[in-house]
Structure 1
Amino acid sequence: MPRLPHWLAPAALGLALAVLALGPALGPGFVLRYDLVFVPDPPLLPDTGGFPRAVPSDFVVALLARVLPAELVQKGFLVGIFVLAATGAAALVPAERRAARLVAAACFAWNLYLAQRLLL
């Protein structure tokens, strides 16, 4: 049986934590919380309603919103934060310590800062 990549379990844990934390926010519509506010048609150029407000991140969002609906781009960013955080934290722990990698992934992706930013 082939071995799974060492990053797969932390990424799956990050995905599960994202679904658990975001829950209803992953449904239809935009999430209007704090500083991650997206609009249905983000401006790309000055003659179309203005520049992106936070260059370069909003510029990337505006480009992606030309290909996908902006609400899907926002959901992808939100879930991606959890997956990348869990995978990155697990990468700092030696690969042979699987349980410690998952604990590091969970503690970094699911913390008090997250609760303050998303759940209040």
Structure 2
Amino acid sequence: MVLRIRPEQMACLDTSIRGTYVSSVVRFLRTQLPRESADLKERELRARAERGIDAAARHGITARWDVARFIACQLCLGEHFDTDPAHAWPQAVLARPYLTPSRKMDWIERHYLRPRRGRSPTVP
């Protein structure tokens, strides 16, 4: 017996996994950045997380923890911090080909997120 998964079933599974991850990112943002996320309704924060996943992927950032940190930066600096000329330093870090995606987010997190949180986060 061979198990076959149809493309539409695979798409449904991908959507379910992504939805679960988005929920964990929203919890992370509410816990770690309560002031920055306070004014956003649940639906708005979920939509921002969804867009953040796609924006992070454009920079080669796909690991769960790195993506969550990228989205946190979007919440703190603005959704388009990775393209906004006002944030040249993180853009320069994201453009460095010799840094791994995790190292890029380490640098950016150290500079922007840790001072806001004041403690070590938990992984979403």
If the length of structure 1 is used for normalisation, what is the TM-score? 0.31
If the length of structure 2 is used for normalisation, what is the TM-score? 0.30
* Greater relative CO, 1 or 2 (CA 8 Å, sep 6+): 1
Question: Rg: which structure is higher?
Answer: 1
